[in-house]
Amino acid sequence: MPLLQQASPGSTVAAQELVGRLGIGILFNDLDDLHDQLCDEAGMTARRAALAANRDRFTFDHHADRLLRLFRTVVG
């Protein structure tokens, strides 16, 4: 299921930026807008494909090496 994120124009929202940049979810203004986007089969297919293509970015393993380097730098 793609991420659902209420749009917050004019605000800095990390999840909103991520959803928009990667195309992995729905940015919606209100419940009617959310409904319309959920019913858009082509749009939902594209979002599911983007989410599948980016799913590895949301795992611990994807970030583990960088995290270990940080820990080694801080400890060292």
pLDDT in tens, 49-61: 999 999 999 899 9
Domain boundaries, the chain: 3-75
Buried b (16+ CB within 10 A) or exposed e, 8-24: eeeeeeeebebbeeeeb
State the virtual CA torsion across 23, 43, 46, 16 in degrees, nearest 10.
10
9 — pLDDT class (breaks 50, 70, 90): confident
pTM metric for this prediction: 0.73
| Ramachandran class of 57: left when φ > 0, alpha when ψ lies in -120 to 50, beta otherwise | alpha
Query: What are 53's two structure tokens?
Result: 């293509």
